[in-house]
Amino acid sequence: MAAPIISPSILSADFAKLGEEVRAIDGAGADWIHIDVMDGHFVPNLTIGPAVVKALRPHSDKPFDVHLMISPVDNFLDAFAEAGADIITVHPEAGPHLHRTIQRIKALGKKAGVSLNPATPAKMLDYVLEEIDLVLVMSVNPGFGGQKFIASQLRKIEAIANQVAKKDLVVDIEVDGGIDPATAPQAIDAGATALVAGTAAFRGGSDQYAANIAALRGGA
Ligand code: DX5
Ligand code: ZN
């Protein structure tokens, strides 16, 4: 099995020194940098906007994996693309026309992802799986770091992995929420190819980041 992509969520970083934190987690072996954008409306928390993504861009050459938890989402796609996002992931509930939203992300030259909340079925992907680069399976209800992994999402990961294989597509399956060295292998066994981790990546201070990432990879 290929090593999973590790995408640390800066939601758990020290916001007073975000640039430094991004450099540290990049140097510690992060593959992607996961950026959680929340609007206080689609999810019950507020985080950052395109200006912060733009300010962070010079601090890392790794792909910026931007998870938009905002609605309506379409008005902000261009701004995040211009700010330096590489992957732009949206929730189907965040706009009236998911297919159109995906087309816009691709027209901007970015990779397109679709994220499914814990209660959102894999079926939502039936008519868009061929169009996208990534599925982000939420294994917690979005809004906050540090929540408990919802194990029922493993079945969803399996179902999506089967569809991707059956249709012979190149689509990453990323899992987000409650990922730690105990839950990471479960997600990978189910078919996840990328892991988001906030708490488990940023715990213990920057000296620990490399060990944290190695532990998520299974000690490899
Ligand atoms: C939750 C975010 C996650 C979160 C993960 O809405 O999408 O990316 O930061 O945090 P942990 O790894 O602490 O569950
Ligand atoms: Zn996220």
pLDDT above 90 (res 2): no
Confidence (pLDDT) at 219:
64
Digit-coded pLDDT (tens) for 127-152: 999 999 999 999 999 999 999 999 99
Indicate whether residue 199 lines ligand 1 (CB < 6 A).
yes
| Residue from 7, 12, 15, 209 whose mutation best tests the ligand 1 pocket (most atoms within 8 A of CB) | 12
Kindly indicate the confidence band of residue 46, based on its pLDDT and cuts at 50, 70 and 90: very high
**Domain 5-216: CATH architecture, name and number where available:** Alpha-Beta Barrel (3.20)
0.90 surpassed by pTM: yes
Annotated catalytic, 36?
yes
Percentage of the chain with pLDDT > 90? 97
Kindly indicate the confidence band of residue 1, based on its pLDDT and cuts at 50, 70 and 90: low
**Nearest residue to 69 via CA among 120, 114, 21, 125:** 114
> Where do runs of H (alpha helix) occur along 167-208?
184-190, 199-202
Percentage of the chain with pLDDT > 70? 99
112 class by beta-carbon count within 10 Å (0-12 exposed, 13-18 middle, 19+ buried): buried
pLDDT above 50 (res 158): yes
Tell me if residue 4 falls in helix, strand or coil: coil
Alpha carbon of residue 216 to chain centroid: 15
Mean pLDDT of the chain: 97
Question: E strands, 79-204, where?
Answer: 87-90, 111-116, 134-138, 172-176, 194-197
pLDDT above 60 (res 220): no
Kindly state the average pLDDT of the residues 11-30.
98
Digit-coded pLDDT (tens) for 193-209: 999 999 999 999 999 99
Indicate whether residue 67 lines ligand 1 (CB < 6 A).
yes
pLDDT above 80 (res 65): yes
Structure tokens at 102: 């995906």
pLDDT above 80 (res 5): yes
The β-bridge relationship of strands 194-197 and 5-8 is parallel
Can you give the residue ranges of every domain in the chain? 5-216
Q: Which ligand is nearest to the CA of 136?
A: 2
